[in-house]
Chains A and B, each alone.
Chain A
């Protein structure tokens, strides 16, 4: 008897290749760019594009680990609060006389610990969904930020810290280089390592993965910890760009990050989607926001568009599946 080979990859045809969600995103990005270019003749200039990307890349760092979390069928809505807390603690330590370098290390450590706490709670209390656990920690983390800083702003960072968010290296913004490095790292982790395959396995069927020897709990804790760490990285860039920090910064980031991941074609039911989709979604939403800013569309209208995009990007695959199964019957 011939050994049965599980089809790992679908047969390559041009139709299936170009009918992917990622290509739809590319088309959308092109459409938005054309719209932007027709609205403003300056949009396609290199300087302008470069500075436009600097504006929205700070939260993109959280998108990368959020892809892993949503792939596993979980969710983390405390990321924005982690951003705030690590930024506030960094500023507070710096203002108490710690050198800036060490304060940044402390900020990164705080983010990592917050993420680890989320992960441990999710793993130890499996009967609670990650929604409710991270909802509680979201309030707690921001609460600590309020205790530390009250309603004050904190700043007066050294000059070199400002460069983090504003400086160019060889004409390319530093933040873009950092994001590219992180994106390649996370993409490699997801698509080329055993760890990444296990994340997909957990998302498809957590029980089956546990029985086949995948250490589900360990992987989940690690992924949540990574989300904490990347939130802290976002905190560094955001604080550097703003020059000061407050306990209410980054509010609403969790929504935008989740919207980007879902728009990138990563399924909320777990186990489906690719890193490149989420990265394309980051640029799509970034350019869209920039373009709408050019035509003076209010921030509120943008809220509506973002919400509808989130709903549509989940609804379309669901409806497609529904119609496909109806046709089969």
Chain B
């Protein structure tokens, strides 16, 4: 009803604006969204720097980058999931179970090569992701229900695998701990791995057929199916990738904090979803860019690092994070509304 009214109201507007595309504030925001986010990050940094001069030191910046690396790796996978109109709440548990099993592996066989430990983590993550992918793609369970259920299963498995005990630093060989603390050309491994994943993911979603299909399925599942895309397969692929990335993140997490616990990363999925939403990934599907989610992750990382530095009580953090997610989601929705309205006005009917 509402749409019809706007459409008919848009007719005179369309006639006036022939040859001159209408531009609105929301469209500008939509176009320069990443720039705006970058501006906000810079403003925030300058503000914090004025309060606490030790913020913009090289040491602290590299600290933020290392802390953000794992978050942004997960955000890449979550972006793919959200683009297909899904959501994955199980990644914290997948991360924990693969981190735990690879930690148990290296504590039993200390001679194992670190790369093999990483591979085992990724393998377990892939299996976890495949299970969820099957449930979502072929059994047709809503993503939120499927991932909520499997989240419990994986979390339970983490506890069962370790018998409720921790794997702590002295049980891990130095080679394993060096995965996250080591450097290559003076840059921390975590940052290098994250950057490599951005590049691969960028190539995948912008320049390969499977990558474009993910967007197609997300922006309109029906027409994707009609044009011959097997959307079930795309959905399965997306959740499998998410699982693999969670597995990788699990190994990196355990190696970085040098301890694997039953409740590792519980609730972390919320931060990852927040990073995606901040980075402009639309919950309605079909929209999302790598540059956006990297900036979103960096913003969250800076917030987590800066709030304690300017004496904000840690008990405020949860509230601030939630409010930022809500505001970002609402702004996304309003911007999209503005763009849609503009598109309607420009249609020549």
**Is A295 close to B, CB under 8 A?**
no
Given contacts A135-B270, A139-B325, contact A306 B315 (CB under 8 A): no
Bound CA–CA A119/B166 (angstroms)? 42
Provide the residues of chain A in CB contact with B337, threshold 8 Å. 127
Please state if A300 and B149 are interface contacts (CB–CB under 8 Å): no
**Is A100 close to B, CB under 8 A?**
no
Please state if A315 and B273 are interface contacts (CB–CB under 8 Å): no
Please state if A311 and B283 are interface contacts (CB–CB under 8 Å): no
The residue from A121, A306, A308, A310 contacting B145, defined by CB atoms under 8 A apart: A310
Bound CA–CA A307/B157 (angstroms)? 11
**Main SS of chain A's interface residues?**
helix
Bound CA–CA A135/B276 (angstroms)? 14
Bound CA–CA A127/B282 (angstroms)? 10
Task: Apart from A135-B273, A307-B152, list 11 A-B contacts with CB within 8 A.
Answer: A75-B144, A125-B333, A127-B284, A131-B144, A133-B329, A136-B329, A137-B322, A143-B322, A151-B315, A300-B156, A303-B153
Residue of B nearest to A259 (CB): B149
Provide the residues of chain A in CB contact with B87, threshold 8 Å. 131-132
- B283-324 vs A, Cβ < 8 Å mask (1 yes, 0 no): 110000000000000000000000000000101111111110
The smallest beta-carbon distance between A63 and chain B, in angstroms, is 16
**Is B139 close to A, CB under 8 A?**
yes
Please state if B152 and A306 are interface contacts (CB–CB under 8 Å): yes
Please state if B144 and A311 are interface contacts (CB–CB under 8 Å): no
15 contacting pairs across A/B (C-beta < 8 A):
A121-B326, A132-B329, A135-B270, A136-B326, A139-B270, A140-B322, A143-B318, A146-B318, A255-B152, A304-B152, A306-B152, A307-B151, A307-B152, A314-B149, A315-B139
The smallest beta-carbon distance between B279 and chain A, in angstroms, is 14
**Is A150 close to B, CB under 8 A?**
yes
Please state if A310 and B333 are interface contacts (CB–CB under 8 Å): no
**Is B36 close to A, CB under 8 A?**
no
Given contacts A139-B321, A140-B319, A140-B326, contact A307 B273 (CB under 8 A): no
Bound CA–CA A308/B151 (angstroms)? 10
The smallest beta-carbon distance between A90 and chain B, in angstroms, is 19
**Is B47 close to A, CB under 8 A?**
no
**Is B160 close to A, CB under 8 A?**
yes
**Is B65 close to A, CB under 8 A?**
no
Bound CA–CA A308/B153 (angstroms)? 7
Residue of A nearest to B270 (CB): A139
The residue from A142, A315, A319 contacting B318, defined by CB atoms under 8 A apart: A142
Measured as residues with beta carbon below 8 angstroms from the partner, the interface class of chain A is: 35 or more
Provide the residues of chain B in CB contact with A75, threshold 8 Å. 144
Bound CA–CA A322/B262 (angstroms)? 37
Provide the residues of chain A in CB contact with B315, threshold 8 Å. 146-147, 150-151
Residue of A nearest to B336 (CB): A127
- B321-349 vs A, Cβ < 8 Å mask (1 yes, 0 no): 11101100110010011000000000000
Q: Which A residues fall within an 8 A CB radius of B?
A: 75, 77, 121, 125, 127-129, 131-133, 135-144, 146-147, 150-151, 255, 258-259, 262, 268-269, 298, 300-304, 306-308, 310-311, 314-315, 318-319, 322
The smallest beta-carbon distance between B341 and chain A, in angstroms, is 13
The residue from B152, B270, B323 contacting A303, defined by CB atoms under 8 A apart: B152
The residue from A137, A144, A301 contacting B326, defined by CB atoms under 8 A apart: A137
Provide the residues of chain B in CB contact with A121, threshold 8 Å. 326
Provide the residues of chain B in CB contact with A322, threshold 8 Å. 140
Bound CA–CA A329/B243 (angstroms)? 35
The residue from B153, B319, B329 contacting A144, defined by CB atoms under 8 A apart: B319
In residues 131-164 of chain B, which contact A (Cβ within 8 Å)? 135, 139-142, 144-146, 148-153, 155-157, 159-160, 164
Please state if B322 and A147 are interface contacts (CB–CB under 8 Å): no
Please state if A268 and B142 are interface contacts (CB–CB under 8 Å): yes
Please state if B140 and A300 are interface contacts (CB–CB under 8 Å): no
The smallest beta-carbon distance between A136 and chain B, in angstroms, is 4
Provide the residues of chain A in CB contact with B157, threshold 8 Å. 304
Residue of B nearest to A252 (CB): B152
